[in-house]
Structure 1
Amino acid sequence: MFPTRRLASQGFFKRSADEFGRLSRIAWNTEALHTPTKPYNLLNFEDEATTTGCKTMADRAVGGFSTASLDHEPADPSSNTPSHARFHGTISTKLPENWRVERTGYAAFRNQDRGFWLLGRLYWDVDPYAYLALRIKSDGRRYTVNVQTDAVVETDIHQHRLYTRHHRVRQEQPEAYESNPESPDAAEDLYPGGMPAALSDVPPESTIISTSTSTTTSGSDGWETVLLPFSSFVRTNYGFVVEPQTSLTRQRVKSIGIGLTDRVDGPFDLRIHKIWATNGMGEADIEEERRICGGNALPLDEGVRSGWTEQSEQLPEKESKQKSQEPQQKGLKGLKWEE
């Protein structure tokens, strides 16, 4: 069999070598026999190729007037700001002249299909991990994380709200939503079984976000890391919650993206540094977390640090003192939403 020019030009052999290398490391280190403690990078936007490898979507495809762009922003060493992707544009709920279009006002992006390797189509296998982690800098709007897998129904997407410290709930900004209120009938169509916890305005306790009240960081102000449980993602189809609810197929993840569907007119701006799968903040990424997020950094997860062994090593006195001064990562007590 001879590879076609199309396969060779798009890195078919490189993808195959990288995937074989990753699987070989897992086998050599017997990582499949215990819970992983190291992160599994999915989309690292420090690499400009990752940004250019994503696609943006907006209601302009159906005649709307919303815009969406995904640009690569270089690093700023003076403020410890890393290279990242900037998802920005404008939301417009103006309807086109096409009478068939009844709703507009959305924008999103996701990675392109990962292509093929030697054993078929390439997917992400995040089955050994509990959380999807995102390091972002948000403007406070109501973004949604979208995960698509190789499911029986190809158009199914599992969604979870992207909660942040700067997240604004509907009750705190009534004037921003009065122009586009969701009617009771529309809400009933979208959520026939009631609003799922992972899509509500108030984050569930399973979501791990920083509860720090610090307003200063060593890096750029506003950077933070959010951990979303894979088990909390809600199955949807064309924006509607569908039944029966099924967990996402973690062994065959096709794409990951972020969308904005709050239908509030005006500009939006979201910065994304990295997206990865994890079981908690471990020693492998805690240094980077503290350097970029500063006072908003999540604390070191003791389970990940010790490998969940019953007899873990004692922390050095200096690290123990520092840990006692850090905010707790779980729970939402003390978290203040922006007004």
Structure 2
Amino acid sequence: MALSNWTTYLGRSTKLLRDSSVKILRMEGADAPSRAPLTLFRMNSQQDIDQFATGCDADIGGTSTVHLELDTSPERNKGGESPATGRFWGDMRLQVKPELQGRIRGGYAGFRSKPRPTLFGEMVDDVSNHQFLAMRLRLGGDPRMRNSYFVNLQTDGPITTDLWQHRLYFQRNDGGWEDVFIPFENFILTNTGELVQHQIEMMRERIRTVGISLLGGNSGVSGSYDLGIDSIRAVNEEDVTRPPVIEKDPSHGI
């Protein structure tokens, strides 16, 4: 294990031990739970970016491309809270390699946080005291792609292919930064891209990974995509600065 990875590993282990000790000392449940905003991830340094993994249909024979990089462009970060943010970008293509025509479907790219092992088990996030997932984002690229972004949550459950999913709805169309709020209760359980028939309640005490996917193949659109990401947080209604979009279609177009 490289020195930098070992340092990160020990840092996570120390944080997990400290947080667990604080919960015990407080005898959690005797005091009112904190409603303060909880930062899950930031994307303001290369170390932040390194916490995420990427993938796209090219991994199985498609032709899309995917990049997740630290973006220090003054123009793209104008109006944001940091001079550096994450940039998820590439080309969404529906074509696949000729020999795979009819066997696979193209039109997918995404990223998600990597598992966070520690000396005491994997680190997870407890968002059970919060009502909304809050993401500060900047939408760019081909306008046709704007309705094909989804946010995905993976919980620490027995079925590793289960994902809780919700479409991302943007209000701005000028490339500026905006806060997107999604009620946790509005996420839909999916498995390998398909809606799970019997929906259950999300285990919000153990959020394992967070990610964003672009599903151009589902909507039949292709083109360049470009999404800026500054932060991913869990908040309550007093921190919501705009009304969240309430999804009317329970399938979310999956």
The TM-score range, normalised by the shorter chain, is: 0.7 to 0.9
Structure number with higher strand proportion: 2
* 1:128 counterpart letter in structure 2: N
Shift of residue 121, structure 1, vs aligned partner: 1.9
The whole-number CA distance in structure 1 between the counterparts of 2:114 and 2:33 is 29
| Matched residue type, 2:211 | G
In the TM superposition, residue 126 of structure 1 has moved relative to its aligned partner by 1.2
Q: Could you tell me how far 1:143 is from its partner in structure 2?
A: 0.4
Task: Provide the TM-score with structure 1 as the length reference.
Answer: 0.62
Unpaired segments ≥5 residues, structure 1? 168-214, 216-220, 283-297, 300-328, 333-339
Amino acid in structure 2 at the alignment position of 1:9: W
Report how far residue 37 of structure 1 moved.
Answer: 2.5
CA distance in 2, matches of 1:163, 1:246: 24
**For residues 47 and 25 of structure 1, do their structure 2 counterparts lie closer, same or farther at Cα, with a shift above 3 Å needed?**
farther
Residues 67, 90 of structure 1: 8 Å contact kept: yes
Q: In the alignment, which of 150, 154, 179 is matched to residue 156 of structure 2?
A: 150
Which residue in the other structure is 2:179 paired with?
Answer: 225
Report what 2:130 is aligned to. 129
Offset, 1:162:
0.8
Q: Is the 8 A contact 2:166 2:188 kept in 1?
A: yes
Seen in structure 2, the aligned counterparts of structure 1 residues 280 and 74 have a Cα distance that, compared at 3 Å, is farther
- SS of structure 1 residue aligned to 2:106: coil
What is the 5 A alignment of 1:1-339?
A: 9=6, 11-24=8-21, 32=29, 33-74=31-72, 76=74, 79-81=78-80, 82=82, 83-96=84-97, 97-99=99-101, 101-118=103-120, 120-139=121-140, 140-166=146-172, 222-263=176-217, 264-282=221-239, 299=241, 329-330=242-243
SS at match of 2:159: coil
* Counterpart contact for 2:35–2:129, Cα < 8 Å: no
CA 1:26–1:47: 2 relative to 1, 3 Å: farther
Aligned-residue identity in percent: 29
**Any idea what the Cα deviations from partners look like across 1:16-75, whole Å, max 9, x if unmatched?**
211233345556678753242311111111132111221111000111100010010127
Structure-2 change in CA distance of 1:105 and 1:280 (3 Å): same
How many residue pairs get matched? 233
The answer to whether the Cα contact below 8 Å between 1:130 and 1:279 also exists between their aligned partners in 2 is yes
Distance 2:156 2:5 in 1: 24
Which amino acid in 1 is paired with 2:91? Answer: T
Shift of 1:101: 2.6
How far the C-alpha of 1:164 sits from its partner, in A, is: 1.4
Q: 1:64 to 1:250 in 2, by over 3 A?
A: same
Choose 1 or 2 for highest CA Rg: 1
The one-letter code of the counterpart of 2:190 is T
TM-score by length of 2: 0.81
Q: Which has the higher helix share?
A: 1
